[in-house]
Amino acid sequence: MVSWDAEVGSALIVAALFLVLVGCGEILRGLNACSQEATRKFVHLTGGIVSLCFAYVFKSHWTILALCVAFVTLMATTRKMGLLKSVHGIKRKSSGDILHPVAIYLTFAATSYFEKPDFYLISVMVLSVSDALAAIIGVSYGFKVYSVEEERKSLEGSVIFLLSTFLIVHLGLLLLTSVGRMECVLSALLIAVLVTCFEAISLGGADNIIIPFGTLFIIMKITTKPIPEIIGQLCSVGIIFLTTYLFGNLSGRLGTSGIIGVGLMGYAAWSLIGAEWYIPVFVCTILISLVDLFLEMPGNQDELLRVRPIFYMFAVSACWIIGANLSLINRLIDTSMFFVPYVVSFAAILSIRWKWSQRAGNLASASRRRVIPRSIAEGNFLVRSVFLSLAFLPINHFLGLELLNPAFSAATCLVGIIVSDAIYWGIGKRYHGQWSRIAFLRLGMVAVFLSSSLVFAANLWFYR
């Protein structure tokens, strides 16, 4: 039973504390006691520390929602009016001030639903402490810088984030939960590595959402596993990232954030479904790393594949992995039904990129590597579809998906690739020279989603 008098009273105290902290940040900025980045992180850190008590003080998520709405309104209004420079006065474009309270509410709601207040504490502490420390150390002492699209991050900041997250998760699990000692150490190491990767490739303040939810999701998953399985997960992370790094460095096509993005995609496939589902990611990694035909866009021949194009390439594939995982957990549909749409999501986006190379006249450069014969590289939509289907579909034999009809799988894969090409170029040719790079990346994602969904529906009908 919720005591609303106590809820309202506690909410007013918390709101007052938040306002005091924001006021302190403004005073520090006004006195030039520290940089604007430091004042922003001061508000972020101290506000996060105050919010740690929410899971133990508040009983209703409606109270947190009201606080969230009030704080988001305050941030949005002051940003529009040019106030609160201690929070908004940074040069880079960021929505972190808006996303931070939203993340607090969503994390509280999720942990309340599962009755895991200790997990809320750990997740929000990682968001508040690790993220702030990484930013402060990175700005002050970061010399080894790497690019994440238009943003710059430092190796030193990422290392601090890793160490801080490991300590927070390890001590939190050890002191607040019944998880065994060895499980605490191994789980904390896995979570620290993965969440550091999430933070490293987050753009525009998205880490305020990704960090707590990534931490919470992995904690919920991994703390129920035995020690051998956790060790297996750690080994899989090492294998996947090492393989991606080697291919990315060998070709020079994958930037640091691109390598991290591909590695996370591979780990998602491996951990949520099985090691065999990593094979399509591996095949795609080889193709985008070694073959010039799959460069992102014409006119960008020397640009590294970083996190944004990798995200749009793999977003639909990630959706099919999540769908297969949910079906596996709830025993709704055999996971093999998701495999051909999963393959199409890779092959279709590569076919679109291939066509870009043909339109831009980059085949001479591509042929110098002689990975794909020029006669195939210059082929039409049918040649591209057949080649990419043959690159991915033989994986059936390794997956043990004997129940799939090879002829039907090949036919639907071909049709899926052709349909995605038709959708993409049917719309894209009208706006060539008008749309931005991001618009075309989004169009590719939509086209692949529609075509792979058609393939999924066809598989459900054929095998019903």
DSSP state string for 108-140: HHHHHHHT-HHHHHHHHHIIIIIHHHHHHHHHH
Kindly provide the b/e burial profile for residues 400-416, where b requires at least 16 CB atoms within 10 angstroms of the residue's own CB: ebeebeeeebbbbbbbb
Question: Which pLDDT value is given to residue 364?
Answer: 47
Question: Which pLDDT value is given to residue 184?
Answer: 92
Could you tell me if 287 and 391 are in contact, meaning their C-beta atoms sit under 8 angstroms apart? yes
Cβ-count burial of 161 within 10 angstroms (0-12 exposed, 13-18 middle, 19+ buried)? Answer: buried
**DSSP code of residue 338:** G
Count of Cβ atoms closer than 10 Å to residue 11 Cβ:
18
Which residues, listed in sequence order, are joined to residue 153 by a DSSP beta bridge?
146
| Span between the terminal Cα atoms of the chain, in Å | 47
Residue 85 has pLDDT above 90, yes or no: no
In terms of Cα–Cα distance, which of 116, 16, 106 is closest to 70? 16
Q: In this predicted model, which residue has the larger pLDDT, 352 or 206?
A: 352
Q: In this predicted model, which residue has the larger pLDDT, 224 or 90?
A: 224
Residue 299 has pLDDT above 50, yes or no: no
**DSSP code of residue 371:** S
Residue 319 has pLDDT above 90, yes or no: yes
Q: In this predicted model, which residue has the larger pLDDT, 78 or 338?
A: 338
Sign of CA dihedral 286, 245, 439, 431: negative
Question: Which pLDDT value is given to residue 368?
Answer: 45
pLDDT digits (tens, 9 = 90+) for 173-202: 999 888 888 999 999 999 999 999 988 888
Residue 301 has pLDDT above 50, yes or no: no
In terms of Cα–Cα distance, which of 96, 95, 122 is closest to 107? 122
CA distances from 435 to 287, 428, 444 (A): 27, 9, 13
pLDDT digits (tens, 9 = 90+) for 369-406: 556 777 777 778 888 888 888 888 776 555 555 567 77
**Locate tokens 């006195």: which residue?**
31
pLDDT digits (tens, 9 = 90+) for 246-271: 887 776 777 788 888 899 999 999 98
Looking at every residue in the chain, the average pLDDT score rounds to 81
Residue 97 has pLDDT above 80, yes or no: no
**DSSP code of residue 56:** H
In terms of Cα–Cα distance, which of 184, 138, 143, 129 is closest to 159? 138
| Percent share of the chain, pLDDT over 70 | 84
Question: Which pLDDT value is given to residue 394?
Answer: 74
Per-residue pLDDT band for 207 (boundaries 50, 70, 90) equals confident
Question: Which pLDDT value is given to residue 60?
Answer: 81
* Single pTM value for the model: 0.85
- Three-class secondary structure assignment of 184-195: HHHHHHHHHHHH
In terms of Cα–Cα distance, which of 350, 372, 377, 340 is closest to 361? 377
Per-residue pLDDT band for 446 (boundaries 50, 70, 90) equals very high
Count of Cβ atoms closer than 10 Å to residue 4 Cβ:
13
Per-residue pLDDT band for 234 (boundaries 50, 70, 90) equals very high
Could you tell me if 129 and 83 are in contact, meaning their C-beta atoms sit under 8 angstroms apart? no
Q: Supply angle C-alpha 314, 318, 320, rounded to 5.
A: 120
In this prediction, residues 86-112 reach a mean pLDDT of: 74
Question: Which pLDDT value is given to residue 14?
Answer: 79
Q: Residues near 306 by Cβ (< 8 Å), separated by ≥ 6? A: 147, 148, 149, 255, 256, 257, 258, 261
| Percent share of the chain, pLDDT over 90 | 23
Question: Which pLDDT value is given to residue 418?
Answer: 92
